[in-house]
Structure 1
Amino acid sequence: MDHKHRLQTTKLDLSFSETFNQEHVADAYERLLLETMRGIQALFVRRDEVEEAWKWVDSIMDAWKADNEAPKPYQSGTWGPVASVAMITRDGRSWNEFE
């Protein structure tokens, strides 16, 4: 393979009408209603999936409560809170930051 891959930081731009040169792009609810009428269930989550997802989230929230530790705030667009570096360093790991 002769392809070269380079990582770079970029802003997330979700202006689909400009990106795909379309005059009209269905918004989320419009698409949801259309797929409902067509009987397409791909955009829907079953109850058991939701319950399993909440088990996962609840376990994280329980750990925060047990440690008396809240999520650490950090500035949008940064690599995360300073505490995240300490967390992985104690396991002998490090972040690979790309600029």
Structure 2
Amino acid sequence: MGTWDELFFLQIRGGKLMVASAHKSDAGVYVCVATNVVGERNSEPAELVVFERPAFGKRPQNQVVLVEGMAEFACEVMGDPQPAARWRKEEGEMPLGR
């Protein structure tokens, strides 16, 4: 069985580097290094950026309030780039003036 690096990085003949199942920790600048008996040379750097889909840290919970009472729904969103949180009523538009 290979090492962790061998399982997630695959170098193919011709110098191609493939990153399988990219993680945030894979983000960074990569350089191809050519080496032979007369020396070594580096390619120009290439940057890998790894984004994350939006996810929820906190989700809204059901509320029961009296008329004129206040309901508060907490929602925490995460991702990269940081997503914006917005609200909509499931059956359509938010109530006018609210």
Structure 2 length-normalised TM? 0.22
Structure 1 length-normalised TM? 0.22
Q: Which has the larger radius of gyration?
A: 2
Greater helix content: 1
